[in-house]
């Protein structure tokens, strides 16, 4: 069981290197055709042309693009992604500080989306042939039409502004001193045995995570349902019935595992999209993650940060895809044993 | 063909078409039906509620925003932005993606490999992040936004259509056409394309919904259209700061987005059923 | 002794577009313990509906509308769901058609067996495992403990079917329903599986319903046979009686339509048209077989015939049963007489080879598979050459090489002495004009979005050709007439055609430009016997008219013997034997040819065939 997964991980790691190289090169090119001059941006407004020229030379902007990229790459390999023009700090450090918040949010949202998708898919499937089947289908259709940032605003408006049930800014209420052990807030509060702080952090995370989960669950629901339909058209379900096995057992014991595979394939893609969705939710809930860092950087044309954050998103998506593929491998006997 | 009357008998297609046409007509007739210039500010009447509310004014049927601009007019002109992005960007992405998909799926070989790896690279980026970065590189504006969406979303068409082309190419009638002397071009256009067309149309309809969302997101973040142009995402971003004073300002553009997107989704889902397309992305 | 199963006037209705159509009518039979009932019929005859009715798993829209179906005295038709489920997998077991798809691909054989045995009140897990191993051994799977660890995709079709047979008999059922249990399997193991089922049935004293389209196979193992036509049982009787003295014209015609493997075939009997669909049934007055029946009279069209006893426990739904057994096939059809004058070979294949190399990038090793090795043969003008072999023996690869769909690794292909081996525009032009293919699966072979006229004249729009539509329609009409299809088919779509009709369109398309050679890949497999006979006759007639040669690929030796004057036998990519059909079949030289011939049921159907004459 372990060997194929390890070999998959190995292959993925190897495949990730060229992808990351290409992605970073593409990012580099895209950001260098920018109409703004990063050298001018990094100096106070009153700087003279000579000062700007000096700054350009210092930043290496006068050299050919390929050389600039290689220099950047050389630094990046050592963990230096350049100094942020706006924050005057190392971009890598900034990413490392904000990454855990985003990862926590995304993982929580994926769990919620997965749960909702599973329950919703089973429910939609059980509605088949009944009078409410179309209603269920149309509701899932409507849910599908509400993107994550609208969910964020709706929930914020409803639970935060109108009902005052849940907090909707930041990760913790003011007054808490967050322990920093791993950088992951939930984990840190657990390690520090601060259950009050854990609850507060969870309450802060509830709205953004649910908003994201809600936005991505309808696809999973509908795919699970249609996969179940496909599996039920197969012969072995009829054969299980002919052996007298009960319907519940057929659904949960035989069909669900078969239907999970195509759903999982799609979940990989969807979770990649979800990771991008954190950006919007973070903005709406002023959640101090990579998304807010990114948008700030975009507004300030802070190239080193955009570059580093873009790369971080890419790494995370590759990790998610690898995790999903490993799970697929573990679940699918056709790939595991030959 | 019997497809068109059959399509019009489906409730979903009709409902979707009605919603899309409604938004589309608003967009086309914007200068005629909008009561005000969307950029016209009236600082004496800011954050007015809709006309039916207690202190609403019939001059501004849906109230005004923080700069005293007419919300209804901005919604109508926002539809213009949304629809032009939806149509132009989707068709562009469709052309790029489906041409590559057909060529790669049919011929295979080195080009297929290269495009396949390109799709891998694209897929390793969340689309929101990728389009944001592209907007940084390209600069803001309607045309730039359309270009960014095409460059991000061609992979959606390419990925799904390529596997469909692979399936169709395996069919015996495609082999038969070659044996009867069809050239590659004839085989693709006369035998394969008619089989992939239903999927292509369905994807196109769904992509239009996605494009509306992306447009709203980019405008919301402030990286979309130029500030003077009306866009739903921008209206939402503005209204967020005044949510206590005027929830209407927030709710109306949200409603507009949901309306347009569910119109395209209903249309896509209905077409999918009528044209009998299998589409894993959407669940059947 | 009491009957295990007794059906009385069982009827199943199908609700299609608001109309209630009879899918099954007046089915009555008794099945005693330890007996085997064969249910025989062509596709659409309603034979599978009987098994489905027993389990109450009818397709959506179908329901039992009348009659009773008693299992050990309890009526299955109005039983509560729970009670019926309690019987299924215990007292009543099923053996499915497609063994590979009948097992859950995500669970090991052991888990599925265990789940099944858990319902048989075997408490201990170890006890269940022991029982599973014993049953697998009884089904001749002797490495049972290994099999239990495996997933279905790791087993062959034959092994899967053995597992399913072991599962079916594991509960000591009183009734087993086997629905076409060998159709999906390779020829060489079909007989062994049938014999295994019969053997298990004898050991357990089980009553067995054996559903099949193959009259000969049914006669091989069944005690009684029930022949179905258009939803009705039209003949019932002891197997030997039904075969030696059929009392219904349909049974007799079916028998005569089936080519024999044991002797150079007599002409086949050609049943005209096809079995009416459910919808058409309501429009046929009187006996539903009358429109196709060779001995029908005016009286037959007046009212539906009752079941008339013709002997002890033998009846038929026919008022002219006395003449049924006397029906004979027309004496002669165009018989393959090509090659009488030795001429220059049309197609020559010399030392043709095809190797596939699969690279395994991570391991750096390459595995080489030889799909075709050293094939040498020739085809003369207007000659019908059979190519037989098991699945995976390289038959289809050889065909693809001839057609230029694959490039050979070595060897030469010559057409009229001109080299076709090179992949060039010239050889492509030669091929397009001279070699055409008829495909196996008529579903996939016809573009569902084109009209029939467009399909059969597709060659007229290829390349730089732009034939006007009128001209094409004219050609299509001629071609359709040649195929025995009505002219109004020209404007229809493939979806409106039956399997046999599609296969005719498939042939018409290949013949549009009158090629010299046809390559036909399994074109009659999967078709019903009467449709198969029609197509074989059509091919012979067309050959006489258009003088094309044909490479006829088939796994069905009887069909090849009927049609071809020369035969090539392939085994593991090699042509192991070739020669005139008669001598190869009479004196097979290669062990594999003997194995292929030995695998076919030799039940003396030929004797039955002749007995009609006496």
- Report, as an integer, the average pLDDT of C393-398: 89
Token reading at C286: 């009187």
Contact B191 C446 (CB under 8 A): no
Q: How confident is the model at residue C335 (pLDDT cuts 50, 70, 90)?
A: low
Which are the contacts of C426, defined by CB distance < 8 A and separation ≥ 6? none
C405/B180 Cβ within 8 A: no
The Cα–Cα gap between C582 and C567 comes to: 9
- Which residues are registered as beta bridge partners of B98? none
Q: Do B180 and C432 touch (CB under 8 A)?
A: yes
Three-state secondary structure call for residue C18: coil
- Half-sphere exposure for C13 (CA within 13 Å, toward CB): 11
Q: Is it the case that residue C361 has pLDDT exceeding 60?
A: no
CB-CB contact of C277 with C261 (8 Å): no
Q: Which residues contact A76 (CB under 8 A, 6 or more apart)?
A: A24, A311
Model pLDDT for residues A43-80, shown as the tens digit of each residue: 666 677 777 777 777 767 777 778 888 888 888 777 77
pLDDT for res A43: 66
For C219-277, strand residue ranges (E) read 224-229, 232-238
Identify whether the C-beta of residue A122 lies closer than 8 Å to the C-beta of residue A223.
Answer: no
**Exposed/middle/buried for residue C419 (C-beta within 10 Å: 0-12, 13-18, 19+):** middle
The pLDDT value given to residue C167? 94
Q: What is the pLDDT along chain B (284 residues), one digit of tens a residue?
A: 444 566 667 888 999 999 999 999 999 998 898 888 888 888 887 777 887 877 777 888 888 888 888 889 999 999 999 999 999 999 999 999 999 999 999 998 899 999 998 998 888 888 888 998 888 888 888 999 999 999 999 999 999 999 999 999 999 999 999 999 999 999 999 999 999 998 999 899 989 999 999 999 999 988 888 888 889 998 998 888 888 888 888 899 999 999 999 999 999 988 888 887 766 555 44
Higher pLDDT, A164 or C583: C583
Q: Which two tokens stand for residue B239?
A: 């209204």
A236 touches chain C (CB under 8 A): yes
Kindly report, residue by residue over C142-189, the tens digit of the pLDDT: 888 999 999 998 998 889 999 999 999 999 999 999 999 988 887 778
Is 50 exceeded by the pLDDT of residue C338?
A: no
Query: In sequence order, which residues have a C-beta less than 8 Å from that of residue A210 and are 6 or more positions away?
Result: A109, A112, A151, A155
How far apart are the C-alpha atoms of A236 and A232, rounded to whole Å? 8
Chain C environment of B195 (Cβ under 8 Å): 447, 449
Chain A, window 274-303: residues with a beta carbon less than 8 angstroms from a chain B beta carbon: 274-277, 279-280, 283-284, 294-295, 298-299, 301
> What ranges in C435-580 are assigned the alpha helix state H?
442-445, 452-456, 469-482, 499-511, 529-546, 557-563
At B198-210, the pLDDT tens digits run: 899 989 998 999 9
Place of tokens 């996605």: B210
Whether the pLDDT of residue A1 is over 70: the answer is no
C235 φ, ψ (degrees, to nearest 5): -150, 140
Alpha-carbon torsion A299, A300, A303, A304, what sign? negative
As a whole number of angstroms, the distance between CA C603 and CA C216 comes to 7
Give the residue with greater pLDDT, B173 vs A89: B173
H-run or E-run covering C337: none
Task: Kindly state the tokens that stand for B167.
Answer: 């399936």
DSSP string covering C388-403, please?
A: E--TTSSHHHHHHHHH
β C314-316/C308-311 pair status: antiparallel
Residue C608's pLDDT is 34
pLDDT band at C605 (very low <50, low <70, confident <90, very high): very low
| Closest to A139 in 3D by CA, of C449, B269, B66 | B269
Residue C20 phi, psi dihedral angles, 5° rounding: -90, 110
A213 φψ region: left (φ > 0), alpha (ψ -120 to 50), beta (else): alpha
Mean pLDDT of chain C: 86
Chain C nearest-CA distance from B199, in A, is 15
Is the Cβ pair C96, A239 closer than 8 Å?
Answer: yes
Q: Do A221 and B261 make contact, defined as CB atoms within 8 angstroms?
A: no
Q: Is residue C452 left, alpha or beta, with left meaning phi > 0 and alpha meaning psi from -120 to 50?
A: alpha
Mapping DSSP to helix (H, G, I), strand (E, B) and coil, where does residue C483 land?
A: coil
- The answer to whether A63 faces chain C, any CB pair under 8 Å, is no
- Residue C30's CB is within 10 A of a number of other CB atoms, namely 17
Helix axes C157-170, C109-118, angle to 10 degrees: 20
| Residues of chain B found within 8 Å of residue C428, distances taken between Cβ atoms | 181
Q: Is some CB atom of chain A closer than 8 A to the CB atom of B46?
A: no
DSSP C228: E
Q: How far is B179 from chain C (nearest CA, A)?
A: 6
Q: What does each C-alpha distance from C47 to B24, C39, C194, C228, C378 come to in angstroms?
A: 56, 6, 18, 7, 44
Please report the pLDDT score of residue A23 as a whole number.
86
Longest dimension (CA), chain A: 87
pLDDT score of C510 more than 70: yes
pLDDT for position C607: 31
Question: pLDDT tens digits for A246-276?
Answer: 999 999 999 999 999 888 888 888 888 888 8
**Residue C532 clears pLDDT 70, i.e. is over it:** yes
Tokens of C284: 């046929």
Cβ(C276)–Cβ(C530) below 8 Å:
no
Mean pLDDT of C423-448: 89
* C44 vs C569, more confident: C569
**Alpha helix (H) residue ranges in chain A:** 2-32, 38-42, 49-59, 65-77, 91-126, 133-144, 148-155, 185-191, 195-232, 235-242, 247-249, 256-284, 290-300, 303-331, 333-336
Task: Say yes or no to pLDDT of A237 above 60.
Answer: yes
Q: Are A275 and A109 in contact (CB under 8 A)?
A: no
Which B residues in the span 251-280 are in contact with C, Cβ-Cβ below 8 Å?
Answer: none
Residue in A with minimal Cα distance to C149: A337
Beta-sheet strands, E only, within C380-480: 384-388, 410-415, 418-419, 435-438
Is the CB of B181 less than 8 angstroms away from the CB of C432? Answer: yes
Q: How many CB atoms lie within 10 A of CB B212?
A: 31
Q: CB-based contact (8 Å) between A38 and chain B?
A: no
Ramachandran area for residue C288 (φ above 0: left; ψ -120 to 50: alpha; else beta): alpha
The least confident of A27-41, A155-169, C458-472, C534-548 is A27-41
C-beta separation of A61 from A17 below 8 A: no
Query: How far is CA C229 from each of CA C26, C40, C288, C341, C499, rounded to the nearest angstrom?
Result: 12, 9, 8, 46, 18
Q: Does B175 touch chain C (CB under 8 A)?
A: yes
Closest by alpha carbon to C552, among C303, C383, C329, C321? C383
Chain A with chain C: Cβ pairs closer than 8 A: 72
Q: What is the pLDDT of residue A27?
A: 83
Residues sharing a CB contact under 8 Å with residue C257, sequence separation 6 or more, in sequence order? C268, C269, C270, C271, C529, C530, C532, C533
pLDDT at C564 over 50: yes
Among A8-12, A36-40, A188-192, C452-456, the minimum mean pLDDT is found in: A36-40
pTM of the prediction?
A: 0.86
Q: pLDDT tens digit string along A32-45?
A: 766 566 666 666 66
């Amino acid at each position: 069981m372990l060997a194929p997964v390890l070999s998959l991980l190995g292959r993925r790691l190897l495949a990730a290197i060229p992808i990351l190289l290409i992605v970073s090169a593409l990012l580099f090119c895209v950001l260098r055709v920018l109409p703004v001059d990063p050298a001018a941006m990094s100096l106070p407004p009153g700087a003279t042309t000579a000062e700007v020229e000096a700054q350009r030379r210092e930043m290496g902007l006068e050299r050919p693009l390929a050389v600039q990229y290689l220099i950047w790459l050389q630094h990046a390999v050592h963990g230096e992604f350049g100094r942020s023009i706006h924050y005057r700090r190392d971009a890598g450090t900034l990413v490392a500080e904000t990454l855990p918040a985003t990862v926590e949010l995304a993982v929580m949202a994926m769990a919620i989306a997965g749960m909702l998708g599973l329950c919703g898919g089973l429910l939609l499937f059980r509605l088949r042939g009944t009078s409410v089947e179309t209603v269920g289908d149309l509701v899932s259709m409507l849910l599908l039409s509400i993107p994550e940032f609208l969910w964020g605003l709706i929930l914020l408006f409803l639970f935060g502004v109108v009902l005052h049930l849940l907090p909707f800014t930041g990760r913790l209420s003011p007054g808490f001193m967050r322990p920093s052990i791993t950088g992951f807030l939930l984990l840190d509060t657990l390690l520090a045995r601060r259950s009050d702080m854990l609850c507060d952090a969870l309450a802060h995370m509830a709205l953004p995570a649910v908003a994201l989960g809600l936005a991505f669950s309808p696809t999973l629901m509908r795919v699970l349902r249609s996969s179940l339909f496909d599996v039920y058209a197969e012969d072995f379900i009829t054969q299980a019935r002919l052996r007298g096995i009960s319907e519940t057992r057929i659904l949960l014991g035989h069909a669900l595992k078969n239907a999970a595979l195509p759903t999982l394939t799609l979940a990989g893609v969807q979770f990649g999209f979800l990771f991008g969705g954190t950006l919007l939710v973070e903005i709406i809930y002023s959640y101090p993650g990579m998304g807010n860092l990114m948008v700030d950087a975009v507004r300030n044309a802070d190239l080193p940060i955009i570059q580093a954050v873009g790369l971080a998103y890419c790494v995370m998506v590759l990790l998610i895809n690898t995790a999903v593929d490993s799970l697929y491998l573990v679940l699918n006997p056709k790939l595991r044993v030959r | 063909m019997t497809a068109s009357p059959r399509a019009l008998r489906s409730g979903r297609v009709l409902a979707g078409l009605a919603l899309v046409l409604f938004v589309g007509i608003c967009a086309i007739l914007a200068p005629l039906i909008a009561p005000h210039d969307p950029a016209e500010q009236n600082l004496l009447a800011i954050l007015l509620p809709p006309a039916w509310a207690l202190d609403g004014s019939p001059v501004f049927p849906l109230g005004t925003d923080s700069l005293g601009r007419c919300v209804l007019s901005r919604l109508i002109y926002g539809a213009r932005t949304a629809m032009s992005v939806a149509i132009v960007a989707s068709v562009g992405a469709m052309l790029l993606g489906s041409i590559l998909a057909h060529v790669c799926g049919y011929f295979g070989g080195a080009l297929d490999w290269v495009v396949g790896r390109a799709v891998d690279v694209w897929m390793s980026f969340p689309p929101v992040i990728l389009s944001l970065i592209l907007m940084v590189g390209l600069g803001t504006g309607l045309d730039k936004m359309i270009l960014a969406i095409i460059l991000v979303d061609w992979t959606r068409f390419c990925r799904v259509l390529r596997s469909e082309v692979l399936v169709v190419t395996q069919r015996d009638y495609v082999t038969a056409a070659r044996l009867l002397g069809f050239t590659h071009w004839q085989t693709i256009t006369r035998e394969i394309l008619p089989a992939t067309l239903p999927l292509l149309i369905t994807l196109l309809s769904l992509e239009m919904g996605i494009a509306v969302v992306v447009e709203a997101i980019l405008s919301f973040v402030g990286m979309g259209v130029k500030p003077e142009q009306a866009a739903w995402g921008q209206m939402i971003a503005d209204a967020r700061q005044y949510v206590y004073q005027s929830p209407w300002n927030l709710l109306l553009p949200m409603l507009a987005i949901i309306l347009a997107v569910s119109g395209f989704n209903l249309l896509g889902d209905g077409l999918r059923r009528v044209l009998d397309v299998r589409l894993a992305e959407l669940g059947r | 002794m009491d009957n295990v199963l007794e059906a009385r006037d069982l009827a199943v209705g199908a609700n299609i577009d608001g109309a209630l159509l009879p899918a099954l009518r007046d089915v009555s039979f008794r099945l005693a313990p330890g007996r085997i009932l064969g249910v025989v019929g062509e596709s659409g005859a309603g034979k599978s509906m009987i098994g489905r009715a027993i389990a109450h798993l009818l397709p959506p829209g179908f329901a039992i509308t009348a009659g009773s179906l008693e299992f050990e005295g309890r009526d299955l038709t109005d039983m509560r769901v729970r009670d019926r489920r309690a019987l299924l997998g215990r007292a009543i077991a099923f053996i499915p058609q497609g063994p590979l798809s009948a097992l859950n691909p995500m669970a090991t054989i052991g888990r599925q067996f265990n789940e099944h045995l858990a319902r048989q009140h075997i408490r201990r897990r170890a006890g269940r495992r022991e029982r599973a191993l014993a049953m697998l051994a009884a089904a001749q799977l002797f490495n049972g403990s290994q099999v239990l660890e495996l997933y279905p995709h790791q087993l062959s079709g034959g092994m899967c079917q053995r597992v399913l047979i072991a599962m079916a008999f594991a509960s000591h059922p009183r009734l087993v329903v086997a629905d076409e249990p060998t159709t999906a399997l390779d020829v060489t193991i079909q007989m062994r599986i049938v014999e295994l089922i019969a053997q298990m049935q004898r050991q357990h004293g089980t009553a067995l319903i054996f559903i099949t389209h193959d009259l000969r196979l049914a006669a091989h193992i069944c005690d009684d046979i029930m022949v179905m036509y258009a939803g009705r049982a039209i003949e019932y009787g002891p197997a030997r009686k039904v075969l030696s003295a059929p009392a219904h014209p349909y049974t007799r015609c079916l028998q005569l339509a089936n080519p024999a493997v044991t002797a150079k075939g007599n002409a086949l009997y050609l049943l005209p048209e096809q079995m009416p669909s459910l919808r058409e049934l309501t429009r046929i007055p009187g006996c539903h077989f009358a429109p196709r029946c060779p001995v029908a009279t005016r009286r037959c069209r007046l009212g539906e015939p009752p079941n008339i006893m013709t002997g002890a426990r033998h009846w038929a739904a026919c008022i002219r049963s006395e003449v049924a057994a006397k029906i004979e096939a027309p004496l002669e059809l165009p018989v393959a007489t090509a090659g009488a004058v030795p001429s220059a070979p049309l197609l020559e294949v010399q030392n043709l080879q095809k190797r596939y190399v699969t690279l395994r990038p991570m391991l750096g090793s390459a595995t080489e598979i030889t799909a075709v090795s050293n094939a040498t043969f020739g085809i003369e003008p207007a000659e019908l050459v059979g190519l037989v072999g098991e699945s995976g023996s390289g038959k289809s690869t050889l065909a693809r090489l001839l057609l230029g769909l694959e490039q050979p690794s070595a060897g030469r292909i010559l057409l009229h002495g001109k080299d076709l081996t090179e992949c060039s525009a010239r050889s492509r032009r030669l091929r397009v004009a001279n070699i055409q293919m008829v495909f196996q699966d008529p579903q996939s072979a016809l573009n569902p979005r084109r009209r029939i006229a467009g399909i059969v004249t597709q060659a007229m729009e290829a390349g730089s050709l732009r034939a006007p539509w009128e001209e094409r329609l004219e050609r299509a009409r001629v071609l359709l007439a040649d195929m025995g299809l009505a002219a109004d088919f020209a404007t229809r779509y493939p979806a409106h055609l039956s399997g046999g009709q599609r296969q005719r369109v498939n042939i018409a398309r290949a013949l549009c430009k009158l090629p010299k050679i046809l390559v036909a890949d399994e074109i009659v497999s999967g078709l019903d016997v009467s449709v198969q006979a029609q197509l074989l006759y059509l091919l012979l007639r067309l050959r006489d008219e258009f003088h094309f040669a044909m490479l006829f690929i088939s796994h069905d030796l009887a069909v090849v013997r009927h049609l071809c004057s020369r035969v090539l036998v392939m085994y593991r990519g090699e042509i192991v034997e070739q020669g005139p059909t008669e001598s190869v079949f009479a004196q097979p030289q290669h062990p594999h040819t003997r194995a292929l011939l030995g695998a076919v049921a030799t039940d003396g159907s030929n004797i039955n065939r002749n007995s009609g004459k006496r």
